[in-house]
Amino acid sequence: MPSPYRALFAVPGTKAFSAAGFLGRMPLSMMGIGVVTMISQLTGRYGLAGALSATIALSAAALGPQISRLVDRHGQRRVLRPATLVALASAAGLLFAAQFDWPDWVLFVCAAGIGSVPSLGAMIRARWAAIYRGTPQLHTAYSFESVVDEVCFIFGPIISIGLSTSWFPEAGPLLAACFLAAGVFWLTAQRATEPQPHPREHHGGGTALHSPGLQVLVATFVATGAIFGAVDVVTVAFADERGHKSAASVVLALYAAGSCAAGVVFGLLRLSGKPEHRWLLGVCAMAVSMIPLLLVGNLPLLAVALFVAGLSIAPTMITTMSLIEEHVPRAKLTEGMTWVSTGLAVGVAVGSSIAGWVIDSAGARAGYGVPAVSGAVAVAVGFLGYRRLSRPVTGRGGIVEHHSEREERHVA
C-alpha cells in the first residue's frame, strides 16, 4: 500500500473500524443484485426482480437519512443496532417468502423492511472526518473508503450471483445479511473512535437537505444512481441472453475495478483548484462512458466498456464528499453524506425498475438505453445547479474547515 494510505492507520482504532465498515458494506453490492438473481432464478420475472430491488432502494432512500440524523443526535451504537435488526428480520422474511412462493405483496413488504439498513459508508467517513478534519489526510481517507466501496462492488456481485446460481437461489442475499450483522455489531462495539453526537444542534435546526448545494448533489446523484441500477439489471439479463448468466458477476466486477483503480490513483494526488469543477467534469465523464454500451454485442467487449466507464466513478464520489463538507454543518455531516446515498438509492430504484421493464419488452441490449439517458439527465442537472455549488456554507456552527484543508493541500 502506498505510504499516504499506510499513514492513515497510525491512529489507534482506524484499522478495526475500517475493517468493520468493509464487512458491513458488502451487502450494498450483494443484496440488490442478489435479489434480482434470486427472483429471476425462481420465477424468470425480471420485472418483478427489478421492482423488488427498486423497493429496497426506495425504502433505504426514505429511511436512511432519518437513521443517520438519529445517529448524529444520539450516536452510532444506540441507533445502528436496532435498525440493523429490523433489516435482518426483513431479509429473513424475504427469503422465506421467495422460497415458499408466498404472494408478491409479502415480498414487497419484506423488501421495504430491508431499507432500514444503515449507511455504513457514511458512518465510517464520519469517523475519519472526526480524526482528520481540516488536514490533507482526510482527502486520502475519503479516497481509501471509495476504494473500499469499489472492492465491495468487485467481489460482492461475484459472490452473490455465483452463490445464487451455483448453490441455491437464496444464498447470495443470505450471505449479504450475515455480512451486515457482523459489520454493524463489530463497528458499534468500537466506542473510542465513534464521533461525538450533537443533540443540541439538531433541535430546531432542520434537515441537512436545506442546504442548496446538497440539494444539487442529491438531485444529480438520483440520475447517477439510475445509471448504476440499470447497468446491474441489464448486465445480468445481457449475460443470460447469451447463455452465460454467471459471467455477469465478472463483468460487473470489472466495472467496479475501473473505479477502484481510479480511486487509488486519485487518493495519491494533491489537487488544487475548485472541487466543483472536478465534480462536474466527473459527472460528464460518467455520462459519456455510457454511450459505448449501446454498441457492444458480446460479453468481452461489454467488460472492456464497463471497465473504462468505471474510471470516472470513484474520483467523482471522492470529490462529492469534499463538497458535502463545504455545504453541510459538522453536526449534520453523517446525515448529509447519507442524503447523497439516498439520491443514489432513489436512482437505483428508478433505473433498475425501468430497465427491468425495458428488458421484458425489448430485450437486454435495448436496456442499455436507460443508463445512457440517465447520464444525460445527470449532466443537465449538474450544469443547472453548478452555481449553487460555487457558494459554500460558512459560519453555521461547526462547518468542516475545508478551505484551510485546501490551502494545506496546496502547500503540500
What pLDDT score was predicted for residue 42? 84
* pLDDT over 70 at 120, yes or no: yes
Pull the grid cell for residue 36: 434480482
d(CA 144, CA 150): 10
Share of the chain above pLDDT 90, in %: 25
In this prediction the pTM is 0.74
311 to 4, 85, 89, 285: CA distances (angstroms): 21, 36, 37, 9
What pLDDT score was predicted for residue 356? 83
Pull the grid cell for residue 354: 425501468
Helix (H, G, I), strand (E, B) or coil at 329: strand
What pLDDT score was predicted for residue 85? 94
What pLDDT score was predicted for residue 328? 78
What pLDDT score was predicted for residue 197? 79
What is the pLDDT averaged over residues 91-111?
89
d(CA 60, CA 116): 6
What is the pLDDT averaged over residues 261-268?
83
Q: Mind giving me the DSSP string for 187-254?
A: HHT--TTSPPP-HHHHTT---GGGSHHHHHHHHHHHHHHHHHHHHHHHHHHHHHHTT-TTHHHHHHHH
d(CA 385, CA 303): 33
- The half-sphere exposure of 390 on its side-chain side, counting CA atoms within 13 A, is 8
pLDDT in tens, 271-292: 677 788 888 999 999 999 999 9
171 to 2, 41, 99, 233, 252: CA distances (angstroms): 36, 12, 11, 18, 19
* Domains (range + CATH), the chain: 14-195+208-411 (1.20.1250.20)
Q: Mind giving me the DSSP string for 305-319?
A: HHHHHHTTHHHHHHH
What is the pLDDT averaged over residues 139-147?
84
d(CA 234, CA 262): 24
